[in-house]
Amino acid sequence: MAMKTGKEYIDSLRKLNLNVYMFGEKVLVPVDHPIIIPSMNAVAVTYDLAFDPLYEDLMTATSHLTGEKINRFNHIFQNTSDLVKKVKRQRLLGQKTACCFQRCVGQDAFNAVYSTAFEVDAKYGTNYLGNFTKFLRYVQDEDLVTDGAMTDVKGDRGLAPSQQADPDLYLRVVERREDGIVVRGCKAHQTGIVNSHEVLCMPTISMDPADKDYAVCFSVPSDSPGIVLIYGRQSCDTRKMEGTEIDVGNSQYGGHEALIIFDDVFVPNDRIFLNGETDFVGTLVERFGGHHRPSYACKVGVGDVLIGAAALAADYNGVAKASHIKDKLIEMTHLNETIYSSALACSYEGFATPSGAYLIDLMLANVCKQNVTRFPYEIGRLAEDIAGGLMVTQPSEKDLRSPEIGHYIDKYLRGVASVPTENRMRIFRLIENLTLGTGAVGYRTESMHGAGSPQAQRIMIARLGNYAHKKELAKAIAKIKD
């Protein structure tokens, strides 16, 4: 089938029978819910830009499975050019949406599972890669969105999955049947699952043989019987239900997270990509984390929007020429471009795995994500500094529109005389959205914890640091002989 437009994508979501809950009630039509619509719109952008000749090279690719033109989010990386284009696409979409556009986890999961399945098959004679390529071809042919699900709720983090008081705190196989398996558990922080057609599940930590039932990787439709989606809260999220535009900050686009409950979900044999091979779980986790960490180049695109908003706030406040304002904007730009440069670096240094799929340089990918855990917070702080306190204390849009009091707001909240008060209020609300509101989930907090917390990257940096080699270099220069 041909690639979908954004509208066709949204129409395809209407055909799903998703089991979604929000605020304690079932959401009967998720695609029409005002809190969900902005996140759905953000995904739709990833479809529509694929038809724009200006962005076609970044948004589409040629499938190595079929030779057909596909959306690049459903592509297996074939060379370093693919890895670099991913980073550039991430920045572009961050600029276009100023939020999480939700498809990165799926592509990173595709690539981690593909290369790992190849190696499991080579060792054990399984057919996991055959299963996976059949599934991937279906996703490419139908132009679907796949949610990558790795993070378990974990329970007592000092205990292995098989040692938990409640065995369901990591997703596990509870029954093995001739035609497939039955799984039970929960995946947390699931970006875009309500906007996804499929959910691709992976283990979340390295495992021992005792954890065999937890060493499972598979994909099922997001509306499969037994799947319950519980929508996550975000700061200021109910503003989307108030019928105002200014107060939302970013009224058109947004992201979302949810819990995915697997209440005895059946997985057919041809959708299983790992089933008990605990010795390959670490490889899968490491490769997914490696691919996903430079995906946070999306924060560079959102950072571009935030820097632009801060510069506009300075203009509207009448302080754009102040030296300290200029210096803060320079610092924001420096930090933003540093993230981008490390994302590009790990991509240019990518290499082929035995499967032929390309993997980024793991050390540089972890350095990239370590930067992401820090720099957006400083960029956000500087944006708040430049904007001023009115960003969080200004009245609502309804007050501005009020026949009784609107003229007071228009008069007393004006900065530079030539700039409409409404424009000033809009830019303040955008900065608030990106640093404190619903947008902060996808910019700040996701920067900290997405693709692993800061300590996860530091562990990998230590592991890959090759200190023994560096010691030998120092000895050679110092002329030290053991």
Closest by CA position to 214, among listed 192, 247, 187, 193: 187
Do 6-278 and 293-465 show the same overall fold?
A: no
* Residue 352: predicted pLDDT: 98
What DSSP string describes 213-234? Answer: GG-EEEEEETT-TTEEEEEPP-
Based on the residue annotation, tell me whether 292 is a catalytic residue of this protein.
yes
* Residue 452: predicted pLDDT: 87
How many CA atoms within 13 Å lie on the side-chain side of 353?
24
* Residue 482: predicted pLDDT: 87
Domain 293-465 listed as CATH 3.30.1490.190: no
Helical ranges in 267-372 per DSSP H: 281-292, 298-317, 323-348, 362-372
* Residue 453: predicted pLDDT: 86
Based on the residue annotation, tell me whether 104 is a catalytic residue of this protein.
yes
Based on the residue annotation, tell me whether 191 is a catalytic residue of this protein.
yes
Based on the residue annotation, tell me whether 296 is a catalytic residue of this protein.
yes
Closest by CA position to 316, among listed 170, 422, 419: 419
Closest by CA position to 198, among listed 221, 166, 215: 221
Based on the residue annotation, tell me whether 217 is a catalytic residue of this protein.
no
* Extents of the domains making up the chain: 6-278, 293-465
Amino acid at 96: K
* The one catalytic residue among 119, 277, 397, 446: 446
* The one catalytic residue among 60, 99, 100, 277: 100
* The one catalytic residue among 298, 346, 368, 432: 298
* The one catalytic residue among 99, 104, 217, 368: 104
CA 378 to chain centre: 20
Give the C-alpha separation, 99 to 104, whole Å.
12
Give the C-alpha separation, 447 to 372, whole Å.
6
Give the C-alpha separation, 314 to 383, whole Å.
10
* The one catalytic residue among 231, 253, 296, 358: 296
Give the C-alpha separation, 16 to 223, whole Å.
6
pTM of the complete model? 0.96
Give pLDDT tens digits for 331-348: 999 999 999 999 999 999
Angle CA 304–309–310, to nearest 5: 100
* The one catalytic residue among 116, 151, 191, 373: 191
Per-10-residue mean pLDDT, the chain, length 482: 94 98 98 98 98 98 98 98 98 97 97 98 98 98 98 96 98 98 97 98 96 98 98 95 95 96 98 98 97 96 98 98 98 98 98 98 96 96 97 97 98 98 98 94 89 90 95 96 90
172-177, strands of its sheet edge to edge = 25-27, 20-22, 227-231, 258-268, 180-187, 172-177
Contacts of 217 (CB under 8 A, 6+ apart): 113, 128, 200, 201, 202, 203, 272, 273, 274, 275, 284
Based on the residue annotation, tell me whether 472 is a catalytic residue of this protein.
no
For residue 255, how many other CB atoms are within 10 A of its CB? Answer: 24
* The one catalytic residue among 75, 146, 189, 257: 257
Structure tokens belonging to residue 457: 């990257």
Q: Which CATH class is domain 6-278?
A: mainly beta
By the 10 Å C-beta count (0-12 exposed, 13-18 middle, 19+ buried), 365 is classed as: buried
* Residue 445: predicted pLDDT: 87
